[in-house]
A and B are shown apart, each in its own frame.
Chain A
């Protein structure tokens, strides 16, 4: 997740610093609870989770604007954006590979920025523009990045692919695909076990050069 530690201003759209749905902001907001939770082994896992759920339990309506449409779901506040997309909205194009922000398979765009949707709660992403793989193309017409992945065979099994494509779109927009090496570096938050990396670089670079 390049945007979690990078100081590069190109990755940070203006005004996105507070409340941007990233892990940093979440940690700040939930500092008290997590402070408690991060103090093992004095308390058990169950007790930590109990402490957490006391603060935030309960099913409630939330509105998520996904691919241009506002949709209401009934869910608990502990539901991640990833699970809300997959389980509540049946947008299963966004994949769960690790649920811990380690693989990038769940990458979506939130207000134009790439975000690991497993690391942010759905409740925190209300009033934001969420784009998933299902909303990338225009009707039947594929987004240029989708076309480039097809042409360059930027995948095999296809499971990391939606995340790679969403990440690739953002990577180009950020200006982080100006050379092959730069694209490799800035696409390294998205793991591919089938090993399509050279083809992914070819696809991302082709779209970057077209711009």
Chain B
């Protein structure tokens, strides 16, 4: 256990932390002043680039006809694999991929090979956007096309055992106990297949990059990225430049959801284009290019075998996942992790199978693994409840895990029982008619469903800097990203409380590699890691001032032991005698200090509880390297109304209750839970990208054809948090809520559809055709 100070100790009564305050950056957003990555128009000589992408999914480029395109006015360059200067390193081999941190082991425009539809084959630069677009349309690409393979479902697909998935972070085989024997002996046996459509993140801001070479070896890139540091590393490695000579800036980003968590080809291509034309270049992916430019959630089938006793206690879980991956990488979301830890069960086994196809590499999509994994386990738990005739909450309580079944570790904290109870109360669950298909509202069938949510506190660390001025204001910095999750706001709150200053005296800056390094905003780590970094940086400020005070003859704290001095609301005072002390401003003015700067490292997850064990752990074991298993938990409750003639499903009520450690801002946290639930409702009811089985091209790569929820799809929603105090996870006690908001959502919807109709639909999205075609079961 760490000896670092913790927020609850130094700030037993939080001031603004936790308060439902308006966003500090909100004014910039509602007035249009917030600048996103394609909006730096003031750069001198800025020109536009567009990508020309391949229509065929497999083949070889045999030539280009650039004559018509180059004749167009304003066209500055047409760059292809034939004339683009070579990169110092590419991800085309395993060593390069690792060094770059690339999401995909293939870089377009480094050869004549075409591996997937939508692959960039040229980048066209012109003085205006329209001219670049038109020239790209005139550019003719000659291709020797071959028959592509579209997915693991193609009869020609070859399934293989990847040994590890997710870039080596997850083993493809996990065995605990003897699941096969336990399943065979189980009085109750369920075996079900669950399929999940391809999902695309579709943030409202498309991928966008503005690249500005300020000198032949110095570069600033404004990029829509969830992590400026990761992008800086990727770009500098590919270019062969010292890291610090590539500056990456992301002050505002229009959503990410995982697809902006890695550096994709368009970013380096824009950088190369800027070099080629000797002017700043900006590029935005088009919406169709967003379907083939920044990854996706892969198409997948899960088979889940559940063995249980007659009273519903789990005895065996066997999970198999089969999914599509790219020609180069072994990527699959780690679905099995949540199935391994969610309920008490002594016997578990999981395995992954992949098939290569002509698609780009899939990538993390909000709650990667946990979202589709929870769909399988939470629907099967519901089935089990119906089979033995008990309430869906009761089946979950009977299998409640008092410690982490996957590791045997005690939980750092777990409020799941309270989440069930409070959620049921808010929802009115006790009034539920247990019989499926028996509740009506006029001609509509009404269903109530629920599901458990959980997400791990991953191992992560980052740094921050705090500069406190003698006149009582402060600037606090970390190279973090605000995806819209509230980072600007909550970090200002944390800094204000830690410094004992009002909010309007603190400015928090982020999104720049010139600031102290922070982790990617992803995996729900940002809130906990960055807030802890900020808090620790402020503690460093106080330690420096305490040293000044105890040496200052005019200070009431002169000759006190530094360890005996505490800081409360910006006042340095003796722990045993709070009367004896002074405000930091008085001390600093006497010492002729205009400001004092502190640095802090925030650690999150196992790295907080046991830094060295986490650092030394195998990549697949980092999260469990310490003594506790660290997760947030929650429960979603959903009401649907189903039209029995049309098969349409509408979500009409929603309740989410979560225990996720300290909540830094009740307003932005509620928004994040609502948003994640809506993301999950989209996956449950409407989202799915369709890859043509013959051409391996997406048939619905637009926002008209790929349906995400609109306002009319969403009812008012109720969100609550269970108060949790967890001293093991980080200095702030924050677990993070970006992903858990989505985990279990599709299952809650599917369980509600089952309750409404008696139809168990195990294929997402639950579209009207499936509702009409599926037969109701008698329960």
Contacts and interface: CB of A to CB of B under 8 A. Distances in A.
Interface of A: 45-46, 49-50, 53, 75-76, 78-79, 83, 86-87, 90-100, 102-103, 105, 132-134, 136-137, 142, 146, 149-151, 153, 155-162, 165, 180-181, 183-185, 187-201
Interface string B692-706: 000000000011100
Interface stretch (B30-38, B300-308, B333-341): B30-38
A102 B257 CA distance: 20
Given A97-B205, A98-B287, A91 B708 contact: no
A155 B203 contact: no
B652 to A, nearest CB: 11
A95 B31 contact: no
B185 interface: no
Contact of B254 (A49, A53, A158, A183): A158
A199 B26 CA distance: 14
A96 B677 contact: no
B205 to A, nearest CB: 4
B31 A146 contact: yes
A210 B255 CA distance: 31
Contact of B33 (A93, A184, A185): A93
A102 B252 CA distance: 23
Contacts of A96: 38, 206, 284
B41 A87 contact: yes
The 5 closest A-B pairs by CB, nearest first: A93-B32, A159-B254, A157-B484, A195-B678, A156-B484
Contacts of A46: 68, 137-138, 140
Contacts of B712: 181, 184-185, 187-188
13 contacts: A45-B137, A79-B130, A87-B129, A92-B41, A95-B36, A97-B206, A102-B704, A142-B31, A157-B484, A158-B30, A158-B34, A188-B713, A190-B711
A154 B582 CA distance: 43
B627 interface: no
A93 B30 CA distance: 9
B30 A153 contact: no
Nearest to A187: B711
Contacts of A201: 711, 716
Given A87-B41, A97-B287, A156 B255 contact: yes
A159 to B, nearest CB: 3
Contacts of A50: 138
Nearest to A151: B22
Given A97-B287, A191-B708, A195-B677, A159 B716 contact: no
A198 B716 contact: yes
Given A153-B671, A157-B205, A195-B678, A162 B32 contact: yes
A161 B27 CA distance: 11
Contacts of B676: 195
Contact of B205 (A75, A76, A150, A159): A159
Contacts of B667: 153
B483 interface: yes
B30 A199 contact: no
B521 to A, nearest CB: 11
B137 A157 contact: no
Interface string B479-500: 0000111100000000000000
A87 B388 CA distance: 64
Nearest to B41: A90
Contact of A180 (B25, B41, B678, B716): B716
A184 B712 CA distance: 5
Given A99-B287, A100-B702, A83 B129 contact: yes
Contacts of A100: 287, 702-704
B23 interface: yes
Contacts of B138: 46, 49-50
Nearest to B55: A45
A184 to B, nearest CB: 5
Name the residue among B22, B257, B714 with the largest chain A CB count within 10 angstroms. B714
B203 A159 contact: yes
B215 interface: no
B86 to A, nearest CB: 30
B703 A159 contact: no
A81 to B, nearest CB: 13
A79 B671 CA distance: 37
Contacts of B34: 158
A132 B31 CA distance: 9
Name the residue among A92, A158, A162 with the largest chain B CB count within 10 angstroms. A158
B286 interface: yes
A66 to B, nearest CB: 12
Contact of A157 (B22, B33, B204, B716): B204
A155 B672 CA distance: 10
A191 B204 contact: yes
B129 A159 contact: no
A92 B32 contact: yes
B29 interface: yes
B679 A195 contact: yes
Contacts of B670: 153
Contact of B27 (A142, A183, A199): A142
Given A87-B41, A150-B22, 18 more contacts: A46-B140, A87-B128, A87-B129, A93-B31, A97-B287, A136-B31, A150-B30, A153-B26, A153-B671, A155-B484, A157-B252, A160-B254, A185-B711, A189-B710, A191-B710, A193-B202, A198-B717, A199-B671
A97 B703 CA distance: 9
A115 B284 CA distance: 22
B743 to A, nearest CB: 15
B204 A159 contact: yes
Interface in B230-283: 252-255, 257
B709 interface: yes
B255 A194 contact: yes
A184 B711 contact: yes
Contacts of B671: 153, 156, 194, 196, 199
B558 interface: no
A136 B32 CA distance: 10
Contacts of B672: 156
B102 interface: no
B30 A184 contact: no
Contacts of B23: 150, 153
A191 B678 CA distance: 12
A76 B73 CA distance: 12
Contacts of B203: 157, 159, 193
Nearest to A92: B39
A193 to B, nearest CB: 5
B675 interface: yes
Contacts of B199: none
B703 A191 contact: yes
A197 B32 contact: no
Nearest to A97: B204
Contacts of A196: 671, 674-675
A100 B702 CA distance: 9
B740 to A, nearest CB: 14
B524 to A, nearest CB: 15
A199 B255 contact: no
B134 interface: yes
A18 B29 CA distance: 34
A197 B715 CA distance: 9
B515 to A, nearest CB: 20
B668 interface: yes
B673 to A, nearest CB: 9
A53 B204 CA distance: 30
Interface string B359-395: 0000000000000000000000000000000000000
Contacts of A198: 674, 714-717
A157 B32 contact: no
Contacts of A90: 41-42
A190 B27 CA distance: 20
Nearest to A189: B710
Nearest to A80: B130
Contacts of B140: 46
Name the residue among B201, B253, B287 with the largest chain A CB count within 10 angstroms. B287
